[in-house]
Amino acid sequence: MKVTKTKLPGVLIIEPQVFGDDRGYFLESWSEQRYVDAGIKQKFIQSNVSKSQKGVLRGLHFQNPKPQGKLVYVLEGEVFDVAVDIRLGSPTFGQYESIVLSAENHKQFYVPEGFAHGFCVLSKSATFCYMCTNYYDADADASIAWNDADLNIDWPLKSPNLSDKDSKALSLKSFDSENLPSYHQ
């Protein structure tokens, strides 16, 4: 397993070892001790799967309180995935990291608690998996505008298909400070 640190502390790119031949492939998608050794010490307590069509953009989502760390990967298709540091007081507040995740590259992306997360589908469709460190809580759920000018995310599409919730999302600077997570070293 190859683990790559990004410019955002705690955000990791993970490349599991893939064993393949002409029949297909096998990979270990999760092994607690390997991921603890890689620096992911949080317990995952919920697993989710979503299926979306080309052009769908989901995000930028976060929960506060009850933040969720997420280990994400794609089983079918290809997505452009983004993590944004929204922790007040963080030296990397408002910065983002992005990666293309696909069924072909088998990469995983770890988005720690305190970060907003989103993705858009690049292929005809995509099956997206999330392992989460906390349960979903509708009362704590929030969304930041995907096209927030201050974040300046270089999305690979300009007119995404958004949910009603995401189309009404606020810019990061529009959130009251008590509604954002805090940075803790």
Report the catalytic residues. 61, 130
For 146, phi then psi, to 5°, come to: -60, -30
Identity of the residue numbered 15:
E
Supply φ then ψ for residue 69, to 5 degrees.
-85, 150
User: Is the CA virtual torsion 159, 160, 164, 170 positive or negative?
Assistant: negative
Buried b / exposed e over 139-152, threshold 16 CB at 10 Å, is ebebbbbbbbeebe
Q: Which residue bears the tokens 């999302």?
A: 169
- Are the CB atoms for 50 and 61 separated by under 8 Å? no
Alpha carbons 95 and 85: distance in angstroms, whole number: 6
